[in-house]
Amino acid sequence: MKIAMWSGPRNLSTAMMYAFGNRADTQVVDEPFYGAYLHHSNADHPMRAEIMASMACDPMQVSAGLSGPMPDGAAIWYQKHMTHHMLEHFPMDLLANFRNVFLIRDPARVIASYARKRADVTLYDLGFVQQKKIFEQCLELGQVPIVIDSDDVLADPKSALTALCARLEIAFDPAMLTWPAGPREQDGIWASHWYDAVHRSRGFGPAPGPAPRVDVAYEGLWHQAQAIYQQLQAAK
């Protein structure tokens, strides 16, 4: 089984990748379209040159690889995807080959977390618009995509992951709840910039408290993202 987890940044996506990567039957891949996104968008991201040098930057090549044979005879191939990496001209026929899951998060939390890493934040950077578009593409294929909220995972990881596994029709593995601290072999080269918190973790963090107050500079951005978040949340 190939599982595509479609997420925006700062959205518990790396912890979810570590959870699945801790299963004995699963191989994971970390943001395989990142290099292609940087190459074709000219986006100015930290470690831009290093990222592009570390991976394939042709979206057709990336898509073909992800749609090809399972790696190392794994029963499950978990693919962590960032929705904003999927530019308009990138091939999306790969959706038909995956069980597509959408990881959503309260935009106030996303904006607060992202702004600590990058001063300039746009709606495109947060991936909400692209997440909705990919969700709708799955519907057009006749799929019933799965939506999971990161707040629900943090509130009760075992229940949330058990329910997710049931919908994916795979057995829940308790190994998904904890993992060794530190970097993982499957991490993208960008982990040194973005993954400091998850590298200190040994499992999912505490249940979320109240959402942070959105800085006045980001209020317009929050309103746009919130409308999409509520639409996707209604599909849980």
Q: What pLDDT sits at residue 121?
A: 83
Q: How far is CA 71 from CA 58, 199, 232, in A?
A: 20, 25, 31
Q: What pLDDT sits at residue 129?
A: 96
Question: Domain 2-233 falls in which CATH fold?
Answer: Rossmann fold (3.40.50)
DSSP codes, the chain: -EEEEEE-SSSSHHHHHHHHHTSTTEEEEE-TTHHHHHHHH----TTHHHHHHHS---HHHHHHHHTSPPGGG-SEEEEEEEGGG--TTS--GGGGGSEEEEEE--HHHHHHHHHTT-S---HHHHTHHHHHHHHHHHHHTT---EEEEHHHHHH-HHHHHHHHHHHHTS---GGGGB--SS--TT--TTHHHH-HHHHH-SB--PPP-SPPPPPGGGHHHHHHHHHHHHHHHTT-
Q: What is the pTM of this model?
A: 0.95
Q: What pLDDT sits at residue 40?
A: 97
Q: Each residue's pLDDT tens digit in the chain (236 positions)?
A: 999 999 998 899 999 999 999 999 999 999 999 999 999 998 988 999 999 999 999 999 999 999 999 999 899 999 999 999 999 999 999 999 999 999 999 999 999 888 777 767 889 889 999 999 999 999 999 999 999 999 999 999 999 999 999 999 999 999 999 999 999 999 999 999 889 989 999 999 999 999 999 989 899 999 999 999 999 999 99
